[in-house]
Amino acid sequence: MDDTDTVAKSDSQWRQELTPERYEVLRKAGTEAPFTGEYVYNKESGMYRCAGCGCDLFSSESKFDSGTGWPSFTEPAVAEAVELKQDNSHFMRRTEVLCRRCGGHLGHVFDDGPSDGRSPGQRWCINSAALQFAPKS
């Protein structure tokens, strides 16, 4: 299977394959508590992949310390790997980030990331539970 193949599974299959925390985040759009995720402080070089389907999502080269308590990135490794959707839950207007391959909830993207001086950059605020890290070999 390559990164363009769609992954479609039943809810019971997802429940069996994912840990309870990953299921809550990826399939129910949950959010892990800030500063508790496995990758918040990770500084290793490598690729962050979707914990649901293994699709390459974010490179360690775009990771930065936002101070928010979640892994933050300036951009996806491959723009086509993610899908954006308006999220008006919790009385807020946000942009949800989904894995395009399996539809898993990853987190949200905000326009308050590092700036290049011309315009504010983006902060892709992603749950550690939605990711699996593959160190660079």
Q: Where is average pLDDT lowest: 4-13, 81-90, 110-119, 127-136?
A: 110-119
- Give the Cα separation of 102 and 27 in Å (integer): 10
Residue, of 3 and 117, whose pLDDT is higher: 117
- Give the Cα separation of 116 and 50 in Å (integer): 28
Q: State yes or no: is 125 an active-site residue.
A: yes
DSSP sequence for 3-33: TTS-----HHHHHHHS-HHHHHHHHH---PP
Task: Choose, from 53, 55, 102, 125, the residue flagged as catalytic.
Answer: 125
Element (H, E) at 65: none
The pTM for the full model equals 0.91
Ranges of beta strands (E only) in the chain are 46-50, 56-59, 63-64, 72-73, 82-87, 94-99, 105-113, 121-126, 131-135
How does pLDDT run across 87-132, given as a tens digit for each residue? 887 677 889 999 999 999 999 999 998 887 766 799 999 999 999 9
pLDDT band with cut points at 50, 70 and 90 for residue 5:
confident
Structure tokens at 92: 């807020």
Q: Identify the CA nearest to 76 among candidates 125, 31, 11, 25.
A: 125
